[in-house]
Each structure stands twice: as C-alpha cells, then as structure tokens.
Structure 1
Amino acid sequence: MIETIVLDIGETIIRDDRYWASWADWLDVPRHTLSALVGAVVAQGRDNADALRLVRPGIDVGAEYRAREAAGRGEHLDETDLYPDVRPGLTALCRLGVRVVVAGNQTRRAGELLRDLDLPADLVVTSGEWGVAKPHPEFFRRVLDVADAAPSATLYVGDHPANDVFPAKAAGLRTAHIRRGPWGHLWADDPDVVGAADWRIDSLTDLAESLEE
C-alpha cells in the first residue's frame, strides 16, 4: 500500500518553457535555438545545462545565474507555470489519505517560489536546499527521511528515467513514469523504463485514479 507520494518538479508539476525562454533571452539567442539544443542534449543523455554551454562555450552557469538575479531577471514561477492537472491531481492524492511531498532538482529560489504557490502538498523541498541532487543516492535517502514511510510504501513520480525512475527504483522505492516534457515523451516506451516503472501515466489525475482502484 502506498503511504507517501513524492513528485519531481520540472516537467512533472511545472513546465520548463519559461525557464529556457528566459535563458535564451539572457544569452541573446532565439528561443527556438536553445529549445532545439536542449532537445539534442536530452537525446544524447547529457546534462540539459550542456545546451547553455553549446550556446556560450566556457560559460559559468552558476555565475550567470547570479548575474541574472542581480539584474532582476532571475527565476520566476507563477500559476501559469503549473501543468493544469497539478492542483486537481495533488488534491485527489491528498483525499486518498497519502502524504504528498514535492522534491526535485531545483534551486533554493525555486523552492521559495513553489511554496508561495501554496500547493496541496505536505512538503515542498529542492535539491538546492538539501545540497544534493538526483540521481545521487543521497537525494533518495533524503526523500525517504521526509516520506515517513518505508521505501516499498513510497512512490516517486517523475519524467526522467536516469534522474527519477532508475535511481528511485535502486533505492527501493516504487516508481511512476509520467509521459510529458521532452524526457517523458522520448523515453516513454523504452523497454528499460517500461520494466522499471510500477505505473506509467499521462497525468497526475491518472495516478490518483489508478491508486484509488
């Protein structure tokens, strides 16, 4: 029985459109160019930040991030960045009586912005706040610390096989792969993903309905 559901952030509950568009504007390249490069590095199994390094070789991503913040062009999240099924999906999960945690690879600032949205979740936390990121096993040890449930009773939901499904499975958690965003669509029917995911879903409301059955 699932007691706690932990959800990834980027392309699971929030769209990354604004994130990459803002980087393209900051680096003064067409948005489509950077978007296409993100897709290319994803298909190659590389870090998506490599798209920024292709646009500007030698870039210090952390330094540029701080420069954006200082210029008033830093991270921003609002209701329009949420996928439309997020609030109804999380609400439905809460009604099932499970603990709902949002935990993914994001900055400290993103954590603050997400908490300001007052999502129907028991906890929102980011890798930037923990000081460790997926797919490192320590991230999933932290997940279990806040899950308040055994690994077999904890379900991790995400779109990225290498960052979400496979390392969560290796940590003993149950897993759900969501088909959305570039990673979710690209690897949705990959045999390894199909074999590792306990659930394969198209939306968070799908997940709530599946768990209710």
Structure 2
Amino acid sequence: MIRAVVFDIGETLLDDTREWAAWADWIDVPRHTISAVVGAVVASGRDNREAFDYFRPGFDLEAERQAREAAGCGQILDEADLYPDVRPALAALRQQGFWVGIAGNQTVKVAKLLRAMNLPADAIATSREWGVGKPDPAFFDRVVAMTPVNREEILYVGDHPDYDITAGRAAGLRTALVRRGPWGHLWCHDPAVRGSAHLVASSLDEIRQVLTGTRKPAFKR
C-alpha cells in the first residue's frame, strides 16, 4: 500500500524551458540550437549536461552557475515555472491522506526557491543539500529517511528512465514515470522502462487518480 508520494523536480514539477533559455543566452547560442542539441544528447541516453560541451569543450557547469549568479542572471523560479497540474495534484494528495515530498537532483538554491513558493508538500530536499544525487542508492536512502513510512510504501515519481525509474525501483521504492520533458516523452514506450516502472502516466493528476482508485490501470506489482 502506497502511503507517501515523493516527486522529482526538473521536468516533473518544473518546466525547464525558461532555465534552458537562460543558459542559451548565457553561452550566446540560439535557444532553438541548444534545445536541439539537448534533445540529441538525451536521445542517445546521455546526461543532458553533456550538451554544453558541444558549445564549450570542458564546460564547468558549477563555475558557470556561480558566474551567472554574480552577474545577476542566476536561476529564478515562480508559479509560471510549475507545470499546471503540480499545485492542485500535490494538494489533493495531501487532502486524501498521502504524505507528499519533493526530492531531486538540484542545487541548494532551487531548494530554497521551492520552499519560498509554499508548495503543498511535507518536505523538500535536493541532492546538493544531501551531498548525494541520483542514481546513487544513497539518494533513495535519504528519501526513505525523509518520509515517515516504510520503503515499500513510497512512490517515487519522475521523468528520467534511469535516474528515477530504474534506480528508484532498485532501491526498493515503487516508481511512476510521467510523460513530460525530453526523457519522459522519448523513453515512455521503451519496453525496459515499462517493465521497470510500476506506472506510466501522462500527468500528475492521472497518478493521483490511480492512487485513489478512481482511474485504472492499477499499479503493477
């Protein structure tokens, strides 16, 4: 029985369009160009951060993040960056008795920005705060430690087939792939992903409906 739902952040709760546009402007390449290169990297199964190396070999992401902050061009988040179903789905899950958490591979700043948005969640954490990120099993151990329920009672929701679904299931959690962002759309029909995910859904509200029994199919065992 699932009693807690923990959500990934980028392209699960947050639409990353504005942040990728900001990176394109920062490294002075057309926005459609960086989108195309990121898509090609993702389609090949690699980490999207490798896309920067096509424009600047040896790109130091952390150093560039700090430079953006110093220049007053750092990442910002507001309601427009949330997918439309995020706030209502999380609120409904809490109202229906589920413990709701947010945890993903993100910076300390993103954690602070998310907390400032007063999302309907019981806890928010990021990999930089914890000092460990997906797909490391230790990340999911921290997810378990964050929640008040047993490991097998946690559903981890994300868009990435390897970092969220395969790694989450290997760590003993239930997993749901949401079809959004480049990873979710590219890999949602992959047999290995469908074999690993307990559920593939098109929205967070669909996941909520399945959890509450108002929509089929039920989760796979």
How far apart, CA to CA, are the structure 1 residues paired with 2:211 and 2:62?
40
- Secondary structure in 2 aligned to 1:177? strand
Kindly provide the amino acid, as one letter, of the partner of residue 65 in structure 2. Y
Query: Moved runs in structure 1, 4+ residues, more than 2 A?
Result: none
1:99 is aligned to 2:99? yes
Query: Helix, strand or coil: the match of 1:156?
Result: strand
TM-score by length of 1: 0.98
Deviation at residue 39 of structure 1 after TM alignment: 0.5
- Following superposition, the deviation at residue 89 of structure 1 comes to 0.6
Q: What residue in structure 2 maps to residue 33 of structure 1?
A: 33
1:61-210 aligned at under 5 Å gives the runs 61-210=61-210
Aligned-pair CA distance for 1:46: 1.1
2:21 paired residue number = 21
Corresponding residue for 1:48?
Answer: 48
Mapped partners of 1:38, 1:188: distance in 2: 18
AA in 2 matched with 1:188? C
Q: Distance in 1 between matches of 2:136 and 2:180?
A: 23
Matched AA of 2:36: A
Other structure's SS at 1:14 match: coil
Matches of 2:149 and 2:93, distance apart in 1? 16
- Distance apart, 1:61 and its partner CA: 1.3
- Displacement of 1:148: 1.8
| Mapped partners of 1:23, 1:197: distance in 2 | 32
Q: Give secondary structure in 1 for the equivalent of 2:134.
A: coil
Distance 2:125 2:38 in 1: 25
| Structure 2 length-normalised TM | 0.95
Question: Please, which runs of 5 or more residues in structure 1 have no aligned partner?
Answer: none
RMSD: 0.7
Displacement of 1:80 in angstroms is 0.1
- For 1:197 and 1:59, how far apart are their aligned partners in 2? 33
Structure 2 runs not aligned, ≥5 long: 214-221
Distance 1:186 1:150 in 2: 32
SS at match of 1:157: strand
Other structure's SS at 2:48 match: coil
Alpha-carbon offset, residue 55 of structure 1: 1.0
Q: Distance in 1 between matches of 2:47 and 2:193?
A: 19
Number of equivalenced pairs: 213
Deviations 1:60-93 (A, max 9, x none): 1111110000000011110000000001110111
1:197, distance to aligned residue in structure 2 (A): 1.1
Deviation at 1:54, TM superposition (A): 1.0
Cα offset, 1:18, TM superposition: 1.0
Aligned to 1:3: 3
* Matched letter for residue 205 of structure 1: D
Q: Hey, what's the Cα distance between the residues in 1 that align with 2:133 and 2:41?
A: 19
Secondary structure in 2 matching 1:102: strand
Moved more, 29-38 or 51-60: 51-60
SS class of match (1:18) = helix
Matched residue of 1:49: which SS? helix
Q: Which amino acid aligns with 2:178?
A: I
Distance in 1 (alpha carbons) for counterparts of 2:181 and 2:60: 26
